[in-house]
């Protein structure tokens, strides 16, 4: 325990790259090809879906998915589906990675064999169970032992085909007996409260004079078990769906009676024949999973201050932040938490300016400036992603939507032309689209975020100073980021930048590819633009844009976004679309049940208002001005027996909304909270349940205007773009330093070697960039000390947690393999080593 008290929180995030599948089984038809997509699931809940790759048995997806995980889970699962136009899409196979195994595959490409999907193995959730053995006197005066089995509740059961009506069967099973009983069905909930007790006779009646209170025959206890099976009551002709089971041998009562514990549901052996995993093909994934235990801010002060001083260290290569980039396997790994930390504390521009200037000084050829995957380029990429997303939406979204809705053919490759298409007509369509996109980009300079402009100014100045004879380098240094790494990728894959809600169709995707290529070349200001295309048809098409006005427009735009003292316009007056999508809504004050109360609507959030309409593009049916949003909070499932619900609270009423999944619900709550954070009349308390049948379900208050009974979520910064937890980012940086400790020590050795021996460098040290060995060694010593102090705090936290945590508790149910592994580690770790 540190001197400031430990306020610890846990957060988890994952980044998944779904790369490709190969050797999928052929379709049982003449075509043999399949139209496949991949889903990412937390247990059974789908949180992401890739595009459909048509007519392939080796589909390449190449899509990244990042999310904060808002709940506990047991498996991160990936399902490959085959699209079926006429029936429900069929599952080809799955990859399920247990939570405790995610670190094995952290940040490396791995091929996984697809496994067969059996309904009996698709389980999730946990059960609260109590067993009690007691002596009962029969009417004849003799004694027998009876077992009371109490099913209290379940949590986190899967939703099957949009509904969950669970019930449990309780069976006392042994070699010569099987006695089953059943609970009532609980409608429309995946967290059922059963609280039912079932009695079973365990031993044959015996004489009451027997003194051994719970002395029953060994063979009875050793061979009997309680089995609890969870089912979803279905109206389908196929019968009820199996949700999972648990088996408890009665010998647990030898240790304690009564026995009460939470259990994870387990799959059952369906008895089906085993199939070779290779029959279904394989899936290549790259999974990055982090789980942080974040302490209070004071714990991180020494390491955080060391990092924030990085921009002032001379040379910058000797700073803590630069050293992190040197030891990490991938520069991106270091760039993400560094940029977020520096943005949070307003130090990102000085830091990027310092590392960019150092990189420019090392660059020999102006044509290769900022072309590598250096720490500088990765940090600027991450800054543009965080600070520039709204700017990207304002600039490109309307034009991208127009291209997607037009469905005009723009194919200019003669080999790809379809029958009846005209090459000249397609070229004209493509030219119009390129002109439109080019125009909105080059006229958007005044909207470019200040932090991006300040970074571009430092790039421009550093490049111009280094290469004084090259008059264009001040432009190419900036265009290599704003065009090549910002606008062009967003045009190419608009769904990854939330410019489109879904993947574009193949024809539109091809059009956007051609537009992106052209815009990228226009922005590059290269001397020989036609030669920069590999394809002859692209070189011919580019002749349309060889006029000087295009180069002048690019330079004027680059001048504006990289000028010192640029006016910083306040928020754009036109509405900025922040998020949109289908959800289900219900209004406050209506009857609890009824189909008309819940309707699917298209929701849109801008910086001005939150609206919904019947379908996308329709006029709004209802609008909430942002200034009228008093709070945005989760709604307890018990209110309507529905998951993933939240409430948007207004002065007169609350709007109850159900999102598609837990990740979407969190995303909507976060963005709505951020955009309304500065409202003067925001609530301090709220009701976590609904007002139904004349009272609030949470506190039973009868007045619909009664003050809330729970504190609202608070402490979020008002800035929509940069909702960053500085302590969490410092914790992530600590984790990186800790995992690369051997490299830090090797870098120390390299500094010592260079200081003492001024000769040919040893090969093992050549990977490190060390300009000043003494200053670098000094910083390394401080980093290692800071990491060591935090390691001690984490070790103490784990010891305290281990002492307080009970196996079989709600947090760590029996069957929690990650906790079992943790117990083994703690029992094997000597106290002094921690």
Distance in angstroms (rounded) separating the CA atoms of residues 278 and 111? 12
Distance in angstroms (rounded) separating the CA atoms of residues 126 and 42? 15
Q: What is the pLDDT of residues 342-370, one digit of tens each?
A: 998 989 999 999 999 999 999 888 888 88
User: Is the full-model pTM beyond 0.75?
Assistant: no
Distance in angstroms (rounded) separating the CA atoms of residues 42 and 664? 13
Distance in angstroms (rounded) separating the CA atoms of residues 436 and 423? 20
Q: What is the pLDDT of residues 305-316, one digit of tens each?
A: 999 999 999 999
Q: pLDDT above 90 covers what percent of the chain?
A: 45
Distance in angstroms (rounded) separating the CA atoms of residues 387 and 721? 6
Q: Say which range, 206-220, 392-406, 628-642, has the weakest mean pLDDT.
A: 206-220
Distance in angstroms (rounded) separating the CA atoms of residues 67 and 698? 30
Mean local confidence (pLDDT), 374-399: 92
Distances (CA, A) of 650 to 57, 340, 654: 51, 33, 6
Task: Encode 407-433 in three state secondary structure.
Answer: CCCCCCCHHHCCCCCCHHHHHHHHHHH
Distance in angstroms (rounded) separating the CA atoms of residues 731 and 291? 10
Judge whether residue 5 has pLDDT over 50.
no
What does the pLDDT read at residue 4?
36
Other beta carbons less than 10 A from residue 76's beta carbon: 24
Q: What is the pLDDT of residues 19-28, one digit of tens each?
A: 899 999 998 8
What does the pLDDT read at residue 250?
87
Band of residue 568 on the pLDDT scale cut at 50, 70, 90: very low
Would the CA dihedral through 763, 767, 772, 777 be positive or negative?
Answer: negative
- Exposed (0-12), middle (13-18) or buried (19+): which is 647, by Cβ within 10 Å? buried
Distance in angstroms (rounded) separating the CA atoms of residues 367 and 691? 66
Judge whether residue 540 has pLDDT over 60.
yes
Q: pLDDT above 70 covers what percent of the chain?
A: 86
The answer to whether the CB of 209 falls within 8 A of the CB of 88 is no
What does the pLDDT read at residue 3?
35
Judge whether residue 805 has pLDDT over 90.
no
The Cβ-side half-sphere exposure at 407, using a 13 Å CA radius, reads 2
> φ and ψ at 170, to 5 degrees?
-120, 120
What does the pLDDT read at residue 589?
46
b/e per residue 198-233 (b: at least 16 CB within 10 A): bebebbeebeeeeeeeeebeeeebebbbbbbbbbbe
Antiparallel, parallel or unpaired: β 622-625 and 631-634: unpaired
What does the pLDDT read at residue 12?
66
- CA dihedral (415, 421, 422, 427) in degrees, to 10, reads -70
The answer to whether the CB of 801 falls within 8 A of the CB of 317 is no
Q: Please list, in sequence order, all residues whose beta carbon lies within 8 angstroms of the beta carbon of residue 735, skipping any fewer than 6 positions away.
A: 290, 292
What does the pLDDT read at residue 828?
54
Could you tell me which of 225, 507, 481, 258 has the C-alpha nearest to residue 378?
481
Distances (CA, A) of 235 to 87, 175, 650, 762, 830: 19, 34, 39, 73, 56
Could you tell me which of 53, 68, 69, 56 has the C-alpha nearest to residue 18?
53
Which residues share a beta bridge with 80?
Answer: 38, 93
What does the pLDDT read at residue 7?
44
Distance in angstroms (rounded) separating the CA atoms of residues 464 and 311? 21
Judge whether residue 223 has pLDDT over 60.
yes
Q: What is the pLDDT of residues 714-737, one digit of tens each?
A: 543 334 334 578 888 999 999 999
Listing DSSP states for 199-223 in one string gives: EEE-S--B-TT---TT---HHHHHH
Q: What is the pLDDT of residues 456-515, one digit of tens each?
A: 999 999 999 999 988 889 999 999 999 999 999 999 999 888 898 778 888 999 999 999
Q: Say which range, 138-147, 163-172, 296-305, 328-337, has the weakest mean pLDDT.
A: 138-147
Number of residues assigned to the chain:
834
DSSP 594: -
Band of residue 576 on the pLDDT scale cut at 50, 70, 90: low
The answer to whether the CB of 747 falls within 8 A of the CB of 323 is yes
Rounded to 10 deg, the angle between the 301-308 and 773-804 helix axes is 150
Judge whether residue 205 has pLDDT over 70.
no
User: Backbone dihedral region of 423: left (phi > 0), alpha (psi from -120 to 50 degrees) or beta?
Assistant: alpha
Band of residue 824 on the pLDDT scale cut at 50, 70, 90: low
Could you tell me which of 109, 425, 520, 145 has the C-alpha nearest to residue 287?
109
Other beta carbons less than 10 A from residue 472's beta carbon: 17
Band of residue 207 on the pLDDT scale cut at 50, 70, 90: very low
Other beta carbons less than 10 A from residue 377's beta carbon: 21
What's the chain's average pLDDT? 84
Rounded to 10 deg, the angle between the 773-804 and 817-828 helix axes is 110
Would the CA dihedral through 328, 724, 67, 617 be positive or negative?
Answer: negative
């Amino acid at each position: 325990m540190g001197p400031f008290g430990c306020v610890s929180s846990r957060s988890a995030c994952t980044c998944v790259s779904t790369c490709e599948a190969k050797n999928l089984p052929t379709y049982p038809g003449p075509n043999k090809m399949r139209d496949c997509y991949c889903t990412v699931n937390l247990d059974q809940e789908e949180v992401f879906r890739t595009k459909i790759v048509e007519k392939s048995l080796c589909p390449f997806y190449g899509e990244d998915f990042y999310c904060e995980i808002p709940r506990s889970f047991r498996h991160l699962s990936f399902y490959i589906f085959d699209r079926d136009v006429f029936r429900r899409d069929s599952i080809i196979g799955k990859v399920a990675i247990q939570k405790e195994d995610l670190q094995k595959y952290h940040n490396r490409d791995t091929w996984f064999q697809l496994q067969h999907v059996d309904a009996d193995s698709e389980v999730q959730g946990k059960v609260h169970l109590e067993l009690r053995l007691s002596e009962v006197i029969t009417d004849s005066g003799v004694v027998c032992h009876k077992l009371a089995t109490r099913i209290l509740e379940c949590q986190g059961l899967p939703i099957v085909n949009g509904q969950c009506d669970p019930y449990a069967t309780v069976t006392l099973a042994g070699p010569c007996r099987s006695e089953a009983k059943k609970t009532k069905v609980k409608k429309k909930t995946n967290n059922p409260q059963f609280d039912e007790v079932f009695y079973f006779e365990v031993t044959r009646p015996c004489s009451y004079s027997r003194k051994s209170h719970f002395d029953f025959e060994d063979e009875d206890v050793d061979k009997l078990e309680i089995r609890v099976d969870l089912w979803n009551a279905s109206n389908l002709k196929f019968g009820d769906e199996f949700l999972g089971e648990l088996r408890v041998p009665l010998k647990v009562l030898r240790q304690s009676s009564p026995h009460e514990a939470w259990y994870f549901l387990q799959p059952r052996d369906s008895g089906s024949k085993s199939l070779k995993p290779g029959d279904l093909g394989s899936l290549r994934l790259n999974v990055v999973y982090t789980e942080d235990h974040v302490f209070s801010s004071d714990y991180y002060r020494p390491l955080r201050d060391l990092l924030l001083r990085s921009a002032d260290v001379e040379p910058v290569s000797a700073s803590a932040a630069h050293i992190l980039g040197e030891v990490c396997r991938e520069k991106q790994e270091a760039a993400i938490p560094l940029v977020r930390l520096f943005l949070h504390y307003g130090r990102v521009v000085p830091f990027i300016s310092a590392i960019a200037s150092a990189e420019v000084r090392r660059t020999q050829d102006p044509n290769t400036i900022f072309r590598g995957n250096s720490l500088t380029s990765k940090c600027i990429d991450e800054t543009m992603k965080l600070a520039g997303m709204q700017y990207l939406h304002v600039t490109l979204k309307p034009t991208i939507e127009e291209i997607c809705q037009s469905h005009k053919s723009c194919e200019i490759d003669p080999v790809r032309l379809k029958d009846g298409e005209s090459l000249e007509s397609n070229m004209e369509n493509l030219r119009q689209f390129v002109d439109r996109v080019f125009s909105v980009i080059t006229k958007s300079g005044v909207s470019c975020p200040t932090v991006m402009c300040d970074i571009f100014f430092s790039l421009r100045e550093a490049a111009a100073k280094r290469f004084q004879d090259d008059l264009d380098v001040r432009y190419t240094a900036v265009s290599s980021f704003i065009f090549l790494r910002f606008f062009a990728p967003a045009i190419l894959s608009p769904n990854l930048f939330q410019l489109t809600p879904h993947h574009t169709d193949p024809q539109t995707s091809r059009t956007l590819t051609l537009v992106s290529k052209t815009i990228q070349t226009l922005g590059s200001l290269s001397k020989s633009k036609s030669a920069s295309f590999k394809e002859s048809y692209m070189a011919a098409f580019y002749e349309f844009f060889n006029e000087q006005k295009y180069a002048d427009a690019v330079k004027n735009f680059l001048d504006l976004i990289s000028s010192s003292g640029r006016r910083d316009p306040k928020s754009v007056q036109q509405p900025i679309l922040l998020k949109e999508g289908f959800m289900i809504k219900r209004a406050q004050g209506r009857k609890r049940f009824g189909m008309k109360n819940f309707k699917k609507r298209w929701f849109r959030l801008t910086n001005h208002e939150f609206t919904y309409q019947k379908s996308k593009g329709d006029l709004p049916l209802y609008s909430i001005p942002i200034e009228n949003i008093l709070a945005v909070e989760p709604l307890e499932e018990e209110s309507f027996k529905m998951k993933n619900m939240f409430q948007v609270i207004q002065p007169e009423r609350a709007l109850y909304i159900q999102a598609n999944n837990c990740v979407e619900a969190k995303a909507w709550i976060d963005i709505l909270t951020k955009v309304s954070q500065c409202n003067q009349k925001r609530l301090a308390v709220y009701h976590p349940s609904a007002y139904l049948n004349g009272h609030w379900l949470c506190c039973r208050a009868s007045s619909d205007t009664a003050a809330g009974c729970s504190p609202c979520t608070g402490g979020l910064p008002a800035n929509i773009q940069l909702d960053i937890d500085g302590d969490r980012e410092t914790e992530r940086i600590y984790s990186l330093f800790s995992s690369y400790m051997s490299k830090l020590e090797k870098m120390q050795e390299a500094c010592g070697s260079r200081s003492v021996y001024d000769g040919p460098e040893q090969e093992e040290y050549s990977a490190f960039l060390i300009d000043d060995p003494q200053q670098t060694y000094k910083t390394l010593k401080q980093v290692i000390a800071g990491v060591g102090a935090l390691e001690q705090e984490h070790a103490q936290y784990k010891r305290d947690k281990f002492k307080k945590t009970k196996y079989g508790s709600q947090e760590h149910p029996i069957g929690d393999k990650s906790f079992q592994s943790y117990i083994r580690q703690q029992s094997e770790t000597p106290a002094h080593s921690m």
